[in-house]
Amino acid sequence: MRIVLAPDSFKGSLTASQAADSMAMGIKTVLPQGQTIKLPLSDGGEGLVDSLVKATDGKMQTEQVTGPLGEPVEACWGVLGDGKTGVIEMAAASGLTLIPPEKRNPMLTTTYGTGELIRSALHHGCSKLIIGIGGSATNDGGMGMAQALGVMFLDEKGENLGPGGGQLIHLSRIDSSGLDPMLQKVSILAACDVNNPLTGTQGASAVYGPQKGADGEMVHKLDTALKHFAGIIKRDLGIEVEHVPGAGAAGGLGAGIMAFLRGQLTPGIDLVMDMIGLEKQLANCDLVFTGEGRLDAQSAFGKVPIGVARRARKYGIPVIALAGSIAADAENLHQQGITAYFCIIDAPISLTEAMQRTAENIQRTIMQVMRLICS
């Protein structure tokens, strides 16, 4: 039996590569002669750099940059095997996991460190950039990123705005004359894991603000600020960003990449699957395992398990998904190509303990599934 293992990361617990390793161990315990093909994936968030660097035999780079609250952080990015393509995860510099829950505040957090990673890739000679824009702690519309690359955001007094999405309401004028000229020679793809617009009830602030620490009042202020921001971008740069699908990704970083970097937004999972050659492996396999931390109805909108299932369905291959938690509305995912899904938690357990035991829980669950398949 030839089995493809194509999970996303289990956020906060395992990388996609580690999840694939745990899956392989469980399968080998039950089916020692089985062939496993590990293809760890990402939808544009955590794991994007690791997936693409490994798939192309590239190299990892490390840079000290500005974290989401202004503190220094060590962030990794990669150069792919062609030596010309840089791949960056905004979460490595501006991600939610970099801030303890009690300090999360999207009114204050900045994407400045993401801009510093882009600048580093430019000065390494990259002529193409792939930027994963999932897992953010920010809601600043990419202002911080653009500031790191030379753009000035000025208030009515002509003074530079400070960091954070809350500052955007004070924006009077954008001066992009200082934008790093190296960007003119670079093509940029932003790998999105969502298709939300910038503002409104489905926008960046309303949908993702609360998980970044925003209460109801802050969500309203942030949404108003992003709407104002979009208006200034349209007036000063001649670019419409407010209603573009994906513009609201990463707290509006999608909009910022479009406006300031002239980048193109693309579904992250499709980009990654194409680059690692997933379909070539699917064409000759018998079974697929995928998975991520949580399965719910939102998984259908650009997440790894559904991206894998849709590709596998073309070949009539069964797809089994594992997850740390499964919502009641996940039943609809069967229509997207998921043959069956299983929660890896088999007893009441604290979140902390569950996350510590993710690897063994994946291995144990997949062993039981394989015993059923092989019986």
Residue 132 is classified by DSSP as E
**Per-residue pLDDT tens digits for 259-286:** 999 999 998 888 999 988 899 999 889 9
Q: Parallel, antiparallel, or unpaired for β 319-326 and 340-343?
A: parallel
- Predicted confidence (pLDDT) at residue 55 exceeds the cutoff of 90: no
Distance of CA 36 to the CA centre of its chain: 26
Cβ atoms within 10 Å of 262's Cβ, excluding its own: 14
181 and 321 inside one domain? no
91 and 221 inside one domain? yes
Domain containing residue 304: CATH number? 3.40.50.10350
142 and 256 inside one domain? yes
- Predicted confidence (pLDDT) at residue 19 exceeds the cutoff of 80: yes
pLDDT given at position 339: 96
| Cα Rg, the chain, nearest whole Å | 21
Mean pLDDT over 333-359 rounds to 90
pLDDT given at position 194: 83
- Predicted confidence (pLDDT) at residue 54 exceeds the cutoff of 90: no
Last residue of a domain, one of 215, 245, 269: 269
14 and 94 inside one domain? no
Domain containing residue 164: CATH number? 3.90.1510.10
Provide the domain limits for residue 171: 48-269
pLDDT confidence bin for 297, thresholds 50/70/90: confident
195 and 63 inside one domain? yes
Amino acid at 97: T
Tell me how many domains the chain contains.
2
Report yes or no: 196 and 179 within 8 Å, Cβ to Cβ: no
pLDDT confidence bin for 364, thresholds 50/70/90: very high
pLDDT confidence bin for 332, thresholds 50/70/90: confident
Mean pLDDT over 200-217 rounds to 96
245 and 136 inside one domain? yes
* Residue 170: both structure tokens together: 């004070």
